[in-house]
Structure 1
């Protein structure tokens, strides 16, 4: 009897975990799958973001019949690209990840999914891709981003523009004359001659959109007289451009603090009339600039949209080597297909309606079957994508947004000559970029005269530029 009891107990000890495991598996099978998302400025502490996520879940279920739980994560404090990479490399990898630089470090580790097959089989995403999106994904298959070409268009405060004379600048000399007038006058009305022409955000990327073509810097890699490719920033064209920037800096036209200014600091200087112009993102962002600028001023200020400076050439260059920012999916995600379906859905008409109009009752209202935008709409922006050509129930762009997009399209005439840096050359390329960053600021600030430009190019090639240039001439056609 005792032996029988022992046998029963032993049998139960074996079977009970089996029953429990089976029940747990059944619960897991019936559970709503979770997709964890991390993105810059898309925090779970913002009630609007949580409402947006809830609306997406509901609309996604209605459209696809699939349940999903979307969980927003707090982005690490500090520099988003750097802190995000530290988080990912520590092993905390969400399903959907927004990158704004630094992604190659992660993709080189094999941590990001190849999105080409997903895009190819997509229901809405593929239709929304523009030619440059297609080429970028083919060249670098880890990030997708549906939006107008990532360019920056010149925009001038309307009140300063009127006081200067109201003539739209076109050439380099035109821009110089206007910006010189800005710093020599009291257009902000504070009784002091302390205005600044324009600023940038830690580098000269925004200024470069304005002036690069004018100085002959039309593509990342240029052919020299012998027909070989040279890096544009190590060319004589770059030397001439940096000499011009040095002049702007010396004369107080270029903000002395541009090297430490962040995007929010640049915007604040625009809104408070510390600077007369910005080179900013066309479309919705330009509308946001105008809304905040008018709110901080008299209420009738707007932005005058201008063309890029004309010189040797005139235009904007569209990079097709890769997406500079956008969404990726973790290669280790257990729900890669579902994560992609979310990105695909956000490119649909229903997804765009949610992402572009914001929260009903806050950013827009519905009355008598029509949609009207509220005053708070100016603070809303799409969290996932901005499909070009999307026709919504109401026009989401203001005058400045439309004009800046039209300007970008008109002058985005050159496809860049560039390539994705291979993994084995990444350290050399990083070293080259650090050399350029250091030397370019010393040139612009006047610490170095332009007679040292040859020393810079030697340092650039020595840092690894020779290897990258050799690769460029083997790769580019």
Structure 2
């Protein structure tokens, strides 16, 4: 039976739980969160082989879905077959992200959790670190009952690195999604405009400047109006040619193996001067600092004529509507040092943690661990990312796997979300198996892999998705709110007004006065812990 998350009247319930918070805290502190099979009430558990239990066991599994996506994924044939194979019945509790914030607070306050929490949208690092007594460390379970996950962590060590908490234990299971690119967004330019003006694809920032200037001055869309927007937005990509490739939006880089806070670096300063030059000459959108996503989207799809010259995107077809055929993705723009840099991750944009948690409320932790380990095979992972074999995936006679066409009137991506866990939940597809997956090169996941070939060799190693202690989580919000806010405010001011050299020392001093040294120490300490994990 699938329970759809009801819209609880959280405001009424919170009051009732206030008294429970203290009690829950006391109970939580005394909870046994050590690895032990003694926690199980079942006496017929099988350490190997199938079924996992001889007498059926029910596990309550909670997951959170975007908006109103619902629970149709539970009818995925692989999931249904898994119940029969393992003799484990799953009682799904599917929550909507619209309501989850309040419901999560209530759940943590009461200490009443299901056996398993699936998907990293459910609990954040902070939620887990500040409520460790509710979640079981799974290191021993991995060694004893999870050969698939153990093998995955040995083949891809970063899976263990991202899953190891500050106390050295693993509490959450990671995922490695299949067929994901190494690079994130890449430069996209209106090729028709280039052809109309007799221009080549820009290679360097000097080339790009000249192209943008021509876009502004020479009416490349041919409508006789000065309506062209040479460059539409400012983001991390804009200064990536200066060696600043910030994947996780935390103002940190790894340079020569060391963590670097880049908003006080010379490279960032030069990047600001580049942005100010573009703004001062009208090459950046004049509504840069006031437009929202809806306004920007309307410009991408302007009905009368294409008006955007250059941007960074995942794929052109995703944003330009009927003008998509005019746009092409190009290699990264070379910076002042002659090098090209792409925001991304050399091991792929596909690793995350907190994809499955076993709670201390579960009476059957080793049963849950063996059940979860079934998700870490190649075939299980592709079926939980796209959909079941025979429904969404076709298994070919030559050992390859291809995706079927979605039903008429349904986009491929919407179909995958309907048929599978998609981005959420534990998965592992080995690099060698990925060669057997056949994707269309014209759209979606397959197109992105084709475009990735333009920039993947220039992807830099990002500052990793590190884990923080409870004490660090207590300090971080205040530090990042003040410091990040000031950095963003000053970036806008430097771009629009200039005077960067004149104001730079005062800018750096203000950051130091706000506690920048403490923030950098927290980030650096977390990085050091991450790198020590083997």
Task: Report the TM-score, using the length of structure 1 for normalisation.
Answer: 0.68
Whether the 8 Å contact between 1:303 and 1:400 is mirrored in structure 2 is no
**Who is 2:511 aligned against?**
460
2:82 pairs with 1:60: yes
2:329 pairs with 1:307: no
Q: 2:322 aligns with which of 293, 297, 300?
A: 297
1:31 is displaced (CA, Å) by 7.1
Question: Deviation per CA, 1:166-222, whole angstroms, max 9, x where unpaired?
Answer: 63322111222233333335444554222323444xx7223344543599xx97266
Distance 2:205 2:310 in 1: 15
Whether the 8 Å contact between 2:253 and 2:261 is mirrored in structure 1 is yes
1:462 is displaced (CA, Å) by 1.2
Whether the 8 Å contact between 1:429 and 1:464 is mirrored in structure 2 is no
**Who is 2:236 aligned against?**
205
1:55 is displaced (CA, Å) by 4.0
Distance 1:86 1:178 in 2: 50
Distance 1:317 1:341 in 2: 36
**Who is 2:264 aligned against?**
234
Distance 2:152 2:243 in 1: 32
Distance 2:353 2:289 in 1: 25
Q: 1:395 aligns with which of 439, 446, 467?
A: 439
Whether the 8 Å contact between 2:441 and 2:450 is mirrored in structure 1 is no
Q: Secondary structure at the match of 2:230?
A: coil
Distance 2:69 2:196 in 1: 44
Q: Secondary structure at the match of 2:63?
A: strand
Distance 1:452 1:205 in 2: 22
Whether the 8 Å contact between 2:242 and 2:270 is mirrored in structure 1 is no
Question: Deviation per CA, 1:319-348, whole angstroms, max 9, x where unpaired?
Answer: 699999664445646457648945861763
**Who is 1:245 aligned against?**
275
Question: Deviation per CA, 1:390-432, whole angstroms, max 9, x where unpaired?
Answer: 2456424437423322234311244648965553342334432
- Taking structure 1 as reference, are residues 205 and 266 closer, same or farther at Cα in structure 2, changes over 3 Å only? farther
2:381 pairs with 1:348: no
Corresponding residue pairs, total: 422
**Who is 1:163 aligned against?**
196
Distance 1:274 1:318 in 2: 28
Q: Secondary structure at the match of 1:356?
A: coil
Structure 2: give runs of 5+ residues left out of the alignment.
1-54, 417-421
Question: Deviation per CA, 1:224-247, whole angstroms, max 9, x where unpaired?
Answer: xxx997622112221111121222
Task: Report the TM-score, using the length of structure 2 for normalisation.
Answer: 0.62
Question: Deviation per CA, 1:323-375, whole angstroms, max 9, x where unpaired?
Answer: 996644456464576489458617631431452368977x7889999864357
Query: Counterparts in 2 of 1:17-416, with a 5 A limit?
Result: 32-40=58-66, 43-45=68-70, 50-51=72-73, 54-61=76-83, 64-76=86-98, 87-91=103-107, 95-99=117-121, 103-110=124-131, 121=146, 123=148, 127=152, 130=156, 132-138=158-164, 142=172, 144-147=174-177, 148=180, 149=182, 151-165=184-198, 167-188=200-221, 190-200=223-233, 204-213=235-244, 220=253, 231-259=261-289, 269-272=299-302, 273-281=306-314, 286=315, 289-290=316-317, 293=320, 296-297=321-322, 300-301=325-326, 303-312=328-337, 313-316=339-342, 327-330=354-357, 332=359, 334=361, 338=368, 341=371, 345=375, 348-356=378-386, 372-374=404-406, 376-380=410-414, 382-384=422-424, 387=429, 390-391=434-435, 394-398=438-442, 400-414=447-461, 416=463
- Taking structure 1 as reference, are residues 340 and 145 closer, same or farther at Cα in structure 2, changes over 3 Å only? farther
Moved more, 322-331 or 433-442: 322-331
Whether the 8 Å contact between 2:344 and 2:459 is mirrored in structure 1 is yes
- Taking structure 1 as reference, are residues 195 and 88 closer, same or farther at Cα in structure 2, changes over 3 Å only? farther
Whether the 8 Å contact between 1:32 and 1:68 is mirrored in structure 2 is yes
Whether the 8 Å contact between 1:213 and 1:309 is mirrored in structure 2 is no
Q: Secondary structure at the match of 1:35?
A: strand
- Taking structure 1 as reference, are residues 333 and 213 closer, same or farther at Cα in structure 2, changes over 3 Å only? same
Whether the 8 Å contact between 1:125 and 1:344 is mirrored in structure 2 is no
Whether the 8 Å contact between 2:176 and 2:351 is mirrored in structure 1 is no
Distance 2:268 2:402 in 1: 52
Question: Deviation per CA, 1:48-98, whole angstroms, max 9, x where unpaired?
Answer: x62565445324336655332434321127xxxxxx656533436782243
1:123 is displaced (CA, Å) by 1.5
Whether the 8 Å contact between 2:252 and 2:260 is mirrored in structure 1 is no
RMSD between aligned residues: 4.8
Moved more, 205-214 or 67-76: 205-214
Distance 1:116 1:164 in 2: 61
- Taking structure 1 as reference, are residues 255 and 122 closer, same or farther at Cα in structure 2, changes over 3 Å only? farther
Q: Secondary structure at the match of 2:209?
A: helix
Whether the 8 Å contact between 1:136 and 1:320 is mirrored in structure 2 is no
